[in-house]
Chain A
């Protein structure tokens, strides 16, 4: 029944879809179900209007069944042995309520996550095989490994593992850096932890982005959670996109500034919030805000879409706010020369006050950077906790980031960087288009290397993940709480190291799995000729 519905035309779907609004009808072109071409031009919000009602119903029903069973099992266990074995007189370390989701829902499908690998994160990885005989209470390694196509790691430019093998000498430079400096400088960057390498990386990054100066931290997460509190505090306002990453949320909460979230990628909502904030002032005292900063990400990793940067920059200039751009996923992966979403949209980097990014994704290193004006960077050097207390970035990783940046900009004298950038775009667009053609509900924007595919029903997560692994595909599935309750999805990360042949084989396998798991929510189209 589901299969028939999946292939049904949009007419019954649009009628059955109780959430259908004028916008949905307009964007879907009236009655016709979006085909691959129009779907590619829709935004995620427009795609959200098309959730099939049957999928929503089964998703909620699935949760209801799981929760009911969970409560029954808890009640049984409480009767038999008592739920939380804590010492008398102590409150239990983990409250029943906090732990319910983990115990009763997550544990059933725990084997889909934390899968260990025994190779570097290249185009293919060796996933270590695991078994469990007691419903995932304990999971054991069997000692075997499964060679799988890596559609999961953030290896956008293919620098993971050995990169381009013989042609790529970056590992040799990294080993040299380790010989000169060791694995750790055992000192914060603000004390004796900053080396010539760190300075070089800072200059290369600042140059790459067209900013005056940059500084590097040893951890990408800490870059956000350390910089936001250092710059903003009581009396400031942080207007943050509702889908921002946990590190931004932690940093904003630690800063003591007031936080107003705005609806994801909604410029009208953002403008309304800023206008009202300036007019009303701080809550209760109505004093004017000291500063207002808008925090957005370049590419949202769960949605696969870009932020609406041009509109946000226009707003920021109009109301004299500051702009903090987190390019964790988009640096190196967007723009013609990999310089991020600013290049992608043609926005001048001088308009973005604080540019943040990480080296973990496109550069296969570790750590993060902040780029901005010289005064800003000097101030952060003086007071950001990540600089004052935390050990500086490990030198071999610094060298890896420098090598990767030099390759991307072509300063190493080869065309490897250019090839990687082209390959990434070509691969992402090819993969996205093919998935839409086979009838999957694909989110995200054109050119984005993150390709989320909707599953909706939480039970489809383990089904999809396990079936794909059997066919030799390592995929990531995400559900609540990283996404909303019924918006479970599979998220593919494309790499420049993949070949079109790899991806086509993957698409075939995914198509078979999707038929079994019944996630072809859209109309499949004929396979069009591929533009390679």
Chain B
């Protein structure tokens, strides 16, 4: 007999005497355990199709990658590359010859202004060129803080934040506030930066027809109905538009937008890449133009590259909006800060816009660029084979599209490129608008003409004549 067997048996018999039910349950449980242990395992996936090492090796040897860059398309072959050897002013030297410059987007002609350059010279001698660090790690130079103060006081908002790259501004701001599950209702003609920002944010995006307030209202109403039906918790909602549309050249109906967004409880983001520095009495953009209080628009993003003679972008809003971006706007936190001299260039440009009432000051330049726009419009409307897109008469950007498009965007683009080249031969630089294959929503191909405060009436007449001649290439 096993040792201690009698002790164990005595123990068990006591148990059975005292609490038989307990023993029955325990025996049952132990039996269940043994039963399950020896059960055959149920396999969900049939493991027979796992690849053997030899098969993996064979597949790896057979696999052929595609080339890194695709073969040159006819569109790529038709796209010229121009090299400029002067600054962007009233004229510029393209491929060695001086041409009238109607292709760069320097609306106020501040690009080579002596006041800006003088301030930049001093800054370069003091700080050097680069700031060698992101804003979080000693890359914040006092001139950056001055620029941000200048921007916020100029625009009349609580705070401002400056980015080092125009294209990165909207792309970083939108994902900072909108995430998966939020809703964006965006104008269908928005520029690439906004589109990329919307797609990076991973939120639901709906588009409304360009400047069509009824279509927008329909979408907003549908959303309210959905809310009532689902009873889900509120998500963040934004309407995104541009002040002046970069790819169309007309203005957004801001008063109606603000009314709608208040009525349906959405927030508004206006991208003032083109309208900042061109609209409004002092160049403050669409809010000044329409006389709407800027605090009614939650977020305004803009560019320092077009009217101001600098590079970079900015965002203005109230303290919460701006402070949040200092930690969550990707293009701000993970990028080196803008070089000090570019911050100074932007700051000096804002001072000129706001303070200088003289003949070379902000007011004069704004008036000049609007007058030029008004002169250019009828001249361009008469070009044979081309028609003007958009109808806002103060827009410094004009897009001319083909009156009879062929149906293939590529062919139309190649045709317009020929017109642009012909115009260049006649001494006027204009641009055939090109889109990256990454931009999913685009306008039909067009020719873009921009005016600046530096142009004279004579320049405009010459430009119109050269374009008329170039339109012969359309036949």
Which chain A residues have a beta carbon within 8 Å of chain B's beta carbons?
Answer: 87, 89-91, 93-94, 99, 102, 106, 113-122, 125, 127-128, 150, 152-155, 159-163, 171, 174-175, 178-187, 190-196, 199, 218-222, 225-226, 229-231, 245-247, 250, 253-254, 275-276, 278-279, 288-292, 319-322, 353-354, 358-361, 363-366, 372-373, 375-376, 378-386, 388-391, 394, 396-397, 400, 474, 476
Contacts and interface: CB of A to CB of B under 8 A. Distances in A.
Contacts, number: 331
25 contacts: A102-B327, A116-B140, A119-B127, A121-B130, A121-B132, A121-B138, A152-B133, A153-B132, A155-B132, A171-B124, A171-B128, A181-B87, A182-B112, A183-B111, A187-B105, A194-B81, A194-B82, A194-B83, A218-B311, A230-B438, A254-B196, A363-B130, A373-B68, A382-B76, A383-B438
Contact of B127 (A161, A320, A384): A161
A352 to B, nearest CB: 12
B18 interface: no
A247 B200 CA distance: 12
A121 B436 contact: no
A187 B87 CA distance: 11
Contacts of B84: 185, 192-196
Given A115-B138, A394-B311, A364 B167 contact: no
A119 B138 CA distance: 10
B24 interface: no
Interface residues of B, number: 110
A450 B282 CA distance: 47
B164 interface: yes
B30 interface: no
A328 to B, nearest CB: 10
A347 B310 CA distance: 40
Contacts of B331: 219, 221-222
Given A116-B142, A221-B168, A279-B51, 8 more contacts: A187-B105, A199-B83, A231-B68, A278-B60, A291-B68, A321-B65, A373-B68, A389-B436
Nearest to A393: B311
Contact of A360 (B117, B121, B267, B336): B336
A397 B63 CA distance: 44
Contacts of A389: 167, 191-193, 436
A222 B140 contact: no
Question: A220, A253, A382 — which one has the most chain B CB atoms within 10 A of its CB?
Answer: A382
B200 A93 contact: no
Contacts of B342: 183-184, 394
B164 A120 contact: no
A290 B56 contact: no
Contacts of A321: 65
A247 B128 CA distance: 26
B427 to A, nearest CB: 14
Contacts of A161: 127-128
Contacts of B94: 192
Contacts of A375: 67-69, 72
A50 B357 CA distance: 68
B455 interface: no
B302 interface: no
A175 B121 contact: yes
Contacts of B306: 186
B338 A366 contact: yes
Interface stretch (B5-13, B32-40, B233-241, B284-292): B233-241
B100 interface: no
Contacts of A226: 167
Interface stretch (B208-216, B318-326, B382-390): B318-326
A465 to B, nearest CB: 11
Contact of A182 (B87, B136, B137, B333): B87
B55 interface: yes
Interface of B: 51, 55-56, 59-60, 63-70, 72, 75-76, 79, 81-89, 92, 94, 101, 103-106, 111-112, 116-117, 120-121, 124-133, 135-142, 144-145, 164-168, 171, 177, 191-193, 196, 199-200, 233-237, 265, 267, 298, 305-306, 309-311, 320-321, 324, 326-327, 330-331, 333-336, 338-342, 345, 429, 431, 434-439
A185 B142 CA distance: 25
Contacts of B199: 254
Contacts of A247: 330, 334-335
Contacts of A245: 334
A378 B129 contact: no
A162 B120 CA distance: 15
Nearest to B191: A389
B63 A278 contact: yes
B138 A191 contact: no
Contacts of B338: 366
Contacts of A94: 177, 320, 324
B124 A117 contact: no
Given A94-B320, A389-B192, A390-B166, A187 B88 contact: yes
A360 B141 contact: no
B88 A186 contact: yes
A397 B130 contact: yes
Given A115-B138, A175-B124, A390 B167 contact: yes
Contacts of A122: 128
B130 A366 contact: yes
Given A152-B138, A254-B199, A221 B334 contact: yes
A183 B119 CA distance: 11
A359 B199 CA distance: 29
Nearest to B65: A291
A279 B341 contact: no
Contacts of B120: 178, 183, 396
B101 A192 contact: yes
Contact of B132 (A354, A360, A376): A360
A290 B64 CA distance: 8
Contact of A114 (B59, B116, B140, B335): B140
A199 B84 CA distance: 10
Contact of B236 (A93, A187, A359): A93
B81 A381 contact: yes
A162 B177 CA distance: 39
A279 B141 CA distance: 52
Output the residue of A121, A275, A384 with the most chain B CB within 10 A.
A121
Contacts of A288: 63
Contacts of A185: 84, 87-88, 104, 111
Given A91-B236, A381-B81, A320 B56 contact: no
Nearest to B133: A153
Contact of B334 (A175, A246, A275, A319): A246
Given A160-B130, A175-B121, A180-B87, A320 B65 contact: yes
A218 B165 contact: yes
A190 B104 CA distance: 11
B104 A187 contact: yes
B24 to A, nearest CB: 44
A383 B436 contact: yes
A183 B72 CA distance: 34
B459 to A, nearest CB: 16
Contact of A150 (B82, B138, B168): B138
A452 to B, nearest CB: 13
Given A91-B237, A116-B145, A360-B132, A182 B88 contact: yes
A396 B105 contact: no
B310 to A, nearest CB: 6
Given A116-B140, A389-B167, A389-B193, A163 B128 contact: yes
